A and B are shown apart, each in its own frame.
Chain A
Amino acid sequence: MDAVYRMQDFQDSVKCDRPPRLPQDRPVLRYRARMPWLQPLLLLAPAGLWLVLLLVFPTLLLLELSLIPDFRLGQVPGAYGVGNYLTLLDPLYLKVVGRSLFYACGTTLLCLLLGFPVSYWIALLAPRRWRSLLLLGFVLPLWTSSLLRAYAWITILRPSGVLNSFLGWLHLPGQTWLNSTPAIFIGMTYSFLPYMVLILYATLEKLDRRLLEAAADLGAKPSQTFWQVTVPQTLPGIVAAGLLVFISALGDFVVPDLLGGSSSMTVPRLVYQQFLGATRNWGLGSSLSLLLIGAVGVGIWLLLRFGDRQSDAL
């Protein structure tokens, strides 16, 4: 706190060209000294209130509901128990969880494979003045709602859609990707690729080019330089981008619902079904929600722990 005062006074004295004022001369600083909790409170209260009302409280509500087996709206709640969580162990639901993980992992991998070369090119090879424009091009899709983008993909992928007209024009067999796994991968990869590219770009842009030269100087062919220097040096960024895409893909509802069809049930869709669909099993829905929150939480924890420690070392 002392240091802060001194810096402040120093700046004042530079600006006004007069002897520095002592902290006790200034009313604001006097309050700050007497009530150190006041300033943090004022700064944190609005957002804090918002979060407590709309995140913490509902989550606690979910937690309670999840502990009432088979609670349905309009029914008298039964006794507390872990029945909902036991239901999740049913192979039927485990399969849904497994499918969600599969989609999320696949999307992450696809985004990485598509995003890394692009980010590498923009960050290291493209002319400097084009970089912002190229990045803007990648971020542009984020300016439209994800719902609209999903509908656009329906137009492209449906049996009589743009894709099949094009394939027909090339005399290639038509595809029925809509309402199946390929459509989900296409839609999710399309949705989350910009995040992957942005984060990887930020990492690659910071990559010390002299390290690449040093590797070449020591006899490393370009491919050896890539695997032994570029990848290890950018690993924190790769992990961060991968986890972000994984988390987003795991929780995505729009793409699986609109492009996936009935056979590709995922956890978010199941949650939706339990709360707003025909079954209305709020208890089971709550436990599914908490499962998702837990999975995402683990992802974020990994991100903070693994990603941060690595970037500190950088």
Chain B
Amino acid sequence: MSFIEVSNISKTYKISKRKSGVPGMLANLFVPKYENKEAVKNVSFSIEKGEMVGFVGPNGAGKSTTIKMLSGILYPDTGEINVSGLIPYKQRKEYVSRIGVVFGQKSQLQWDLPVIDSFELLKAIYSIPDDVYKKNLDRYMEMLDMDKFIKQPVRQLSLGQRMRADIAAALLHSPEIVFFDEPTIGVDVVGKDAIRNFIKDLNAEDGVTMIFTTHDMQDIEKTCNRLVIISEGSKIYDGTLDGVRKLHGSSRQLDVYFMNDSEVAEIPDVEIVEVDKRHSQFIFDGKKVHINDLMSHLLGTYNVKDINISEPDIESIIRKIYSREKVAG
């Protein structure tokens, strides 16, 4: 039995279908019509203690609904969730005292008050013992470099500072599981790095189980070892990040820079992306197209200044997976 056990959960939302116009409005009022939307379809997975798992998927894929069920906010329609013996949506109070949740888009801090006031309030809400509170606070202050802004009202903080404060707020009660919903959204590069490093350190030092949802593949690359891809409510991949790469391992990208403006003619089995007149990308499957042939063709046909070959980045792989049907997990 794993630490977190999710078996066959499904969730369907009822969405009211609105008609427009005056007769439509009356119809909405008296005979509302609903449309069922299957947000999550028969999803199962298990997570071990101390794992870091990233959930990715396009908007509306069902990531947030899955996380909401995992954190006890929503009941699944069918299926079961068990977290070390607790059922999140049934034993809410007991369960939530053991988890922390960071919503990147929704702060839990008091907007008009200094950060420390919000922390004091959380101390009371979670009944955190004085010594634990002090220990955690000191530690996060240092790790997240918060002493500069801890006494400032939240409304004066930069987005990066606010996010750091929010992360600390979710961790003050030493949760065993932490959910991060888009934790780096809108934060600048330096801020993102600080957040990712902190999350990694915390996982390494305390063995806290961490579950992410994100759009930023860098978040996943830099923190998680496991990736779950959800698309249209179904799990379409569950495995390591390298595994995803291997699925598309034979794919290559060739960047060619020309000496002068060049029109590139089509080549069989090669996808060509013209970045600008002097730079084109050739994406191809290494098993189908031989790199030597392609290179000699290009060098023979065009006046080439520079060439660079690479694996496609993880973003383009994921984008490909979304657009395709299910791949083997």
**Chains A and B bind each other:** no
Query: Which B positions have Cβ atoms within 8 angstroms of A?
Result: none
